[in-house]
Structure 1
Amino acid sequence: MALLEVRDLVVGYDQYPVLHGVSFDVEQGECCVLLGLNGAGKTTTVTTVAGMLQPQSGSITFDGKELRKGSPSQRVAGGISLSPEGRRLFPRLTVSQNLKLGAWSRRRDSKTLKRQMDLVRDYFPRLAERENQLAGTLSGGEQQMLAVGRAMMSRPKLLLIDEASLGLSPTVARTVWEVTSRIKADGTTVLMVEQNAGALPFADRALIMEKGTLVYTGVGDELRTVNLREAYLGSGA
């Protein structure tokens, strides 16, 4: 049984459907990249998994249990954490305060709080250097590091990262992707949403979405032998 099983997921806004029966698995201990152009339905997919949207039909099973209606905070407590598109930091709070808010569901567990704080500092040494700096004064790359670090503070089993590379230089984007490989190696399953096919070398599984449906699923060496960029995303991706 996969850690995350999505089956026939239909999601929309008001009466306008966005996802049209999406089904996929994410195995425990892997990094899965969900690729697609703007408007493909990628963010809708991960925000539904995170509990921010409710499906019209279909099912989501996580760690052997079907997820029914529940708040995002309940999903976090159950082991699912989202680093959202646009980062959504608290700009007038410090780096350290933003990170501690990410551990709200475990705020009474001082050992886990310290362990996760030390882990995030190890993943992103720059955050340790700027722990007393206001989040709003960080560079774009540092803010993205903080968004991922904050999501890791709840000690998730599944980390969802939405558009980590958006607006970043290729060098900084690669740094963030390299950290996701370390996060995976340390035992956290990762599902990344990306428009940038540069994330593929860091993936064990790739899903490509067009207009609310999955048009490609591949694993392992297949991701290195098929030109997914040209076939599905266009030469500019």
Structure 2
Amino acid sequence: MMAVLEVQDLVVGYGQFPVLHGINFVIEEGEVCVLLGLNGAGKTTTVSAIAGLLKPTSGEIRFHGKSLRRRSPSARVKDGLSLSPEGRRIFPRLTVSQNLRLGAWSKRRDTRQARQQLDLVFGYFPRLAERGNQMAGTLSGGEQQMLAVGRAVMSRPSLLMIDEASLGLSPTLARAVWEATAQIARDGTTVLMVEQNAGALPFADRALLMEKGTLVHTAVGDDIRNVNLREAYLGA
């Protein structure tokens, strides 16, 4: 397999306050990687740096082997990097379909591809197809999360990052979002999920356990199902 994302010695902070302390990890093509940790561990800071929303103090981020150091956030989206942010951040006064079309802004000149992506999103989340003309602000929390993920899929990413998909959702709705995410990966998109909920682990090919800005454990394949990983997380 080829590495889609390589993070090397990444240090990121806010002003004088360091948050990430030189983390290293790789995500390979086609994987679902879960970045697991408690609130304040540095998970959102990690994906924000990858998306270009935060400038690293030091370290390197490579996407498909190329450095992202000089790439703006919008250029990274064109490169195939997409983020579904924490808190959903949908446009409540726009319809579901309008929100989704905004997700395809970087590919707006290719209307055929945008239509294909829209059909794909409606396949992952049939509820969104039923509510295409509904104002996004009137959707339930679970539907808004589906919309946030679907909007990120619209740019046709090769790496989709989803920050806290299960936050505030019932176990049933959280599982529905994770199952859709697994299908997105099976269809060829590499996925990085940020989670506090260990229930995401059964859907992962790779798991990264983060604590206080450092990666304290990495598990791949069958090792993810090992009870010791859950114990390490719950103990943290």
Q: TM-score, normalised by structure 2?
A: 0.98
Shift of the alpha carbon at 1:139?
Answer: 0.1
Counterpart CA distance in 2 for 1:172 and 1:227 is 27
Counterpart CA distance in 2 for 1:194 and 1:12 is 20
Counterpart CA distance in 2 for 1:99 and 1:233 is 37
Counterpart CA distance in 2 for 1:171 and 1:190 is 21
Counterpart CA distance in 2 for 1:45 and 1:206 is 14
Counterpart CA distance in 1 for 2:171 and 2:101 is 29
- Paired position in structure 1 for 2:60: 59
Shift of the alpha carbon at 1:228?
Answer: 2.1
Q: SS where residue 25 of structure 2 aligns?
A: strand
Shift of the alpha carbon at 1:111?
Answer: 1.2
Counterpart CA distance in 2 for 1:137 and 1:234 is 39
- Paired position in structure 2 for 1:49: 50
- Paired position in structure 1 for 2:30: 29
Q: SS where residue 221 of structure 1 aligns?
A: helix
Counterpart CA distance in 1 for 2:230 and 2:193 is 16
**Are 1:161 and 2:162 matched, yes or no?**
yes
Q: SS where residue 108 of structure 1 aligns?
A: coil
- Paired position in structure 2 for 1:141: 142
Q: How many corresponding residue pairs?
A: 235
**Are 1:219 and 2:220 matched, yes or no?**
yes
Counterpart CA distance in 2 for 1:72 and 1:213 is 24
Q: Is the 8 A contact 1:96 1:131 kept in 2?
A: yes
In the alignment, structure 1 segments of 5+ residues that lack a partner are none
- Aligned pairs (5 A) from 1:1-237: 1-234=2-235
Q: Is the 8 A contact 1:120 1:149 kept in 2?
A: yes
> Is 65-74 or 169-178 further displaced after alignment?
65-74
% identical aligned pairs: 76
Q: Is the 8 A contact 1:36 1:233 kept in 2?
A: no
Q: SS where residue 3 of structure 2 aligns?
A: coil
Counterpart CA distance in 2 for 1:175 and 1:134 is 22
Shift of the alpha carbon at 1:231?
Answer: 1.8
Give the letter for the 2:91 counterpart. Answer: F
Q: SS where residue 181 of structure 1 aligns?
A: helix
Shift of the alpha carbon at 1:89?
Answer: 0.4
Counterpart CA distance in 2 for 1:231 and 1:3 is 27
Shift of the alpha carbon at 1:72?
Answer: 1.3
Structure 1 runs (4+) deviating above 3 angstroms are none
Give the letter for the 1:212 counterpart. Answer: G
Give the letter for the 1:38 counterpart. Answer: N
Q: Is the 8 A contact 1:37 1:233 kept in 2?
A: no
Q: Is the 8 A contact 1:34 1:193 kept in 2?
A: yes
Q: Give RMSD over aligned pairs.
A: 1.0
Q: SS where residue 78 of structure 2 aligns?
A: helix
Q: Deviations over 1:76-106 (max 9, x none)?
A: 0010000000000000000000000000000
Q: Is the 8 A contact 1:11 1:56 kept in 2?
A: yes
Q: Deviations over 1:48-80 (max 9, x none)?
A: 101101101000000110111332111100100
Q: Is the 8 A contact 1:208 1:217 kept in 2?
A: yes
Q: TM-score, normalised by structure 1?
A: 0.97
Q: Is the 8 A contact 1:181 1:202 kept in 2?
A: yes
Give the letter for the 1:67 counterpart. Answer: L
Shift of the alpha carbon at 1:7?
Answer: 0.1
Q: Deviations over 1:151-196 (max 9, x none)?
A: 0000000000000000000000000000011000000000000000
Q: SS where residue 92 of structure 2 aligns?
A: coil
Counterpart CA distance in 2 for 1:137 and 1:228 is 39
